[in-house]
Amino acid sequence: MLFHTDLFIFGFLPITLAAFFIAAKVNRRLPIFVLIAASLIFYAYWMPEVTLLLLGSIVFNYFAGMFLQSDRPKAQRRLGIVAAIAIDLGLLAYFKYANFLMGTVHGLTGLGPGPLDIILPIGISFYTFTQIAYLVDSYKGEVKERSFTSYVLFVTFFPHLIAGPVLHHKEMMPQFANPETFRFNWLRITLGVLLFVIGLWKKVVFADSMAPLANEVFNAADQGVTPEFFTAWGGSLAYTLQIYFDFSGYSDMAVGLGLMFGIVLPINFDSPYRSSSIVEFWRRWHMTLSRFLRDYLYIPLGGNRHGDFSRYRNLFLTMLLGGLWHGASWLFVVWGALHGAYLVVAHLWSQAGFKLQSFVGKTAAPFAGWALTLMAVIVAWVFFRATTVTGAGDMLGGMVGMNGADPGVLLNYLADARLWGVGSPVIAALAAALLPNSMWVVKQAEKLLTENRRLVIACGGVLAGVVGFVGLMFIGAQNEFLYFQF
C-alpha cells in the first residue's frame, strides 16, 4: 500500500485514525494495539508472504535485547550481541545480497547456479538497521523502556516501516508511554495534514513528472543508445530532481502521518540541494541514515580517534558500505565510493587551510561551492540510477560532450510546454532552490495556529480538501517510491 494511492488516502488512513482515537477513549494502551494491527495490515497488503519474517525478526531482537540488558557477565553479553547482529545481518545478506553475490561469482568464474530467485522483503534494510541500533544500545545499557508492545510498535509503525526515517528507540519509546500522545489534538492533526499535503505534492506533482524523462534517457543508455550532451544532461537533471522530491516527499508524508497520531518522527531532509559543500550535503540529505552510519558504523570503526589516516579510511569505508546498503549492485558501491572520496577530499582541503574564496573571490565563493557540490552529487546520481556500468559510462560520456551535442534537442526541450507548467523541471528546480523547506512551513503554521483554535479547525478542513483534490487530479500511474527498493 502506497501513501499516495486512493486506497490509502480515502480508505486506510481515515479508518485507522477513527479507530485510533475511539480506542484512546476506551483505554490508554488500546491505541498502541490499534496501530500495531494497522501497521501489520499495511505491510501485509504489500507482501503478505514475508510478514512472518518481520514478526520473527521483532520477537528475536526484543528477547536478544532483554538478554543484553540483563546482569549476565560481560563476556556472555558480548557473545550475545555478536551472535544477534550476525543473525540479523545474515538474514539481510541472504534476502538482499545472495542474488548479487551468486551472480557475481558466476559471472567471474562460471561456477555456481548464478542469481537465485529470492524475493526481497520490502523495508528489510530499514527494520533490520533500526533493530541493530536497539541491540547496540541494549548492550551499552542505554535502553530504559522495555514494554514489548511499545517495541513492536517502534519497529512496525507504518509511516516509517517501508522506507524510514531510520528511528532511534529513545526518540520513540517515551512517546508511546506518554498518555498525551494519544489525546485528540486538532493542532497536531492539522499540522500533520499540512505536512502530508506538502509531501504528496512533491511526490505526485514533481517527482512523478520527472520520471518519464529520466527513465527514457537512462533506459536508452542502459540498452546501448549513447546520449548526446543535452539529452544526457536532461536525463541526469530530471533524475536529480526526481529522487529528491520522491524521497523528500515520502519523508514529509511519513512525519505528517506520525503527527496525525500524536507521534513525532525525526526529520530526514533540510534542503540538501542548497548545500555549499559535500559535508553539508550529508548533514542535510537522509539525515537519519547519516546519523545511523555515524553512530553505528563510523564511530565503531574508530572514527577520528587514531589519526588522520584512520579517520579518512573509516570515512571512506562508511560511505562505501552505505552505498552497498542502498542496493545489491556494483553501481551502488561506486556511488558510495564516490561520496566517500568526495568527503575525504573535502576534509583534506579544509585541513590544508584552503578556502574557495582565495580562488574565486569572496563574493563568488558561496555560489562556486554550491555549484561544485551539486555537480558532484549529480555525477554520483548517474551511478545510482543506471542499471549497467556501460549505461553509466555512456551517460557520463554524454555529459562531458564525448557523444556530441545537438542544439535541436535543447530547442525541443525549451519549446516543450511540460518544461514550464505545473510540476515541470523548471518549477521543481526553483522550488528546491528557493522555497522554504517543509519543516519551516510547518513551524510557521504552528506559530500562527497555536493562538486560534477556530483557524486550526478551518485550516484542517481546507487541507483535507487539498489532499482530496491532489489525489483526484494527479494520482494516476501511482509510481512506486524509489526508496522502496532499498
Active site residues: 326
Neighbouring CB atoms inside 10 A of 92's CB total 19
Query: Please, what sign has the CA dihedral across residues 302, 304, 309, 315?
Result: positive
Q: What is the SS3 assignment for 227?
A: coil
Three cell numbers at 400? 562531458
Cell of 457: 479547525
Contact 334, 323 (CB under 8 A): yes
CB atoms < 10 A from the CB of 473, how many? 11
Cell of 388: 549497467
Q: How far is CA 19 from CA 38, 172, 264, 367, in A?
A: 10, 21, 19, 51
For residue 10, is it left (φ>0), alpha (ψ between -120 and 50) or beta?
A: alpha
DSSP letter, residue 167: P
The residue behind cell 522483503 is 121
Nearest partner of 21 among 163, 140, 183, 230, judged by Cα: 183
User: How many H-runs (helices) and E-runs (strands) does the chain carry?
Assistant: 25, 0
Distances 208 to 169, 378, 408 between C-alpha atoms, Å = 33, 19, 26
